[in-house]
Amino acid sequence: MTVSKRIALFLGVALAWIGVPVHAAYPDKPIKVVVPFVAGGITDAGARVLLDHMSQRLGVPVLVENRPGAGTKLGTRAVVAAPNDGYTLLMTNSNLTMVPAVESSPGYDAQRDLAPIGLASDYGVAIVVKIALPVRTLHELVQYAKRNPGRLSYGSAGVGSGTQLMAEHFKHLTGTDIVHVPYRSTALAIQDVAAGTLDLTFDGAARPYADAGRVRVIAVTNPQRDPRFPDVPTVGEQGLPAMTLVSYLGLFAPRGTSPAVVERLNRALNLAATDAGVRSRLAELGMTPRGGSPAEMVRRVSAELAYYRRVVEAAGLKFE
C-alpha cells in the first residue's frame, strides 16, 4: 500500500470515528437547478439572483436550466426522475401546488416526490390589461367583460397551470366569460398583452412593461399594495378579497436526497435570502425574501395544496 493510500485510509477511519461523514465534501461539482419556466419571467429572474449568491457560498457553479412546458409539469417531472444526489434541483413557485389541484394526474406528487429545501421568497401577481382596453380598475374590467361575454381573452402558462387556476377563479368569483389562451409561460403572454393582441394576463413581472407604458396594471393580488405599483389598489381594496393570492419561490430536491445535503443547501439558501444585495434585487422584482427550514417549506406546500383544492372544489373548476 502506498503512503498516499495509507493517509487516505487513516483519514477515512478517523472521520468515521469522530462522526463526520466521509462524503462531507458536497458539493464538488456544478449543481443544476431546473426552473420550469422560460427565461425572463419573475420566477426565473428571482431564481438567478438567489442561485448566483448560493454559488458563491457553495463554491461551485449553480446553473439554471429553463425547462418550460405543460404548465410547469415537464421541468418538475424531470427533477422528480433525477438522481437524488443533490446535483439536480428544482426552483419553482406555487404552480407546484396549484397544478395537482386542477389536474388529477400531473405526473408527480408535490408532497411525496420532492424533498423541500427551503422557502426563498413570497410575491403577489398583477392583473395586467392591454393599453387599448378601456378599463382602469377591477370593477371596470368586470363590467366590461359582462357587457362583452366571450370577447375578451386571457393568457396563461398553459393548460392546468397556476395562472389558469387564478384566471378561472377570477371568472368564477365575478361571473365573467373570458376566453383562455394557453402559452408556454406568462412571460410570453404578457408580450402579447403589450403588443395588443391579447387582452389580459396575470403576471408577476409586469413592471418593465408598465413603466414603458405598454400595459396597464389594474390590481395586485398581494394582501398589501405592491411597492412597485404603489398607486394600484389590491384586489381586496377593490372588493374582491377572495382573489388575494401570494405565490412562493421555493427550492426542492428529489425525494430521498441526503438530509446532510438538504441541510447544506438550506444553509446556503438562507444566507442568500438574508444578504442585503440579494434582498435589494429581489425587492426590485416585487419579491419579499423569506428563508426558513425545510420543515417550514413542507408545511407551506401542505397548506397550499389544501387551499387550492378547496378553491377548485368550491368553484367546480375543470381543467382537463
Give dist(CA 54, CA 262) in Å, integer: 13
- 252 sits in which H/E element: strand 246-254
Query: Would you state the cell numbers that stand for residue 285, as one nine-digit string?
Result: 422584482
Q: What is the structure's pLDDT at 320? A: 59
Give dist(CA 23, CA 128) in Å, integer: 49
115, 253 contact by CB (below 8 A): yes
Q: What is the structure's pLDDT at 204? A: 86
Tell me the sheet residues that pair with 157.
Answer: none
Give dist(CA 153, CA 235) in Å, integer: 20
Instruction: Give all strands (DSSP E) within 178-239, no chain letters.
Output: 178-182, 200-203, 215-220
- 138 sits in which H/E element: helix 138-147
Give dist(CA 125, CA 220) in Å, integer: 6
**Comparing 6-123+247-315 with 126-243, is the CATH topology the same?**
yes
Q: What is the structure's pLDDT at 20? A: 38
Q: Residue 123 phi/psi, 5° resolution?
A: -160, 150
* 230-237: long-range pairs with CB below 8 Å, 24+: 232/126, 233/137, 233/138, 235/127, 235/138
- β pairing state of 88-92 and 246-254: antiparallel
Which of 260, 284, 300 lies closest to 120 in space, CA to CA?
300
Say which CATH architecture domain 126-243 belongs to: 3-Layer(aba) Sandwich (3.40)
SS3 sequence of 38-94: CCCCHHHHHHHHHHHHHHHHHCCCEEEEECCCHHHHHHHHHHHCCCCCCCEEEEECC
Measure Cα distances from 316 to 48, 102, 167 in Å: 37, 10, 14
Place of cell 441541510: 263
Give dist(CA 10, CA 17) in Å, integer: 10
Fold entry, domain 6-123+247-315: D-Maltodextrin-Binding Protein; domain 2 (3.40.190)
Amino acid at the residue 267: R
Domain boundaries, the chain: 6-123+247-315, 126-243
38, 68 contact by CB (below 8 A): yes
Q: What is the structure's pLDDT at 89? A: 98
Q: Helix, strand, or coil here: 181?
A: strand
Q: What is the structure's pLDDT at 161? A: 83
- Going residue by residue through the chain (320 aa), what tens digit of pLDDT does each one get? 444 444 444 444 344 344 334 345 999 999 999 999 989 888 999 999 999 999 999 999 999 999 998 889 999 999 999 999 999 999 999 999 998 988 888 999 999 999 999 999 999 999 999 999 999 999 999 999 999 999 999 999 888 788 888 999 999 999 999 999 999 888 899 999 999 999 999 998 899 999 999 999 999 999 999 988 999 999 999 999 999 999 999 999 999 999 999 999 999 999 999 999 999 999 988 899 999 999 999 999 999 999 999 888 887 877 65
Q: Indicate whether this model's pTM tops 0.85.
A: no
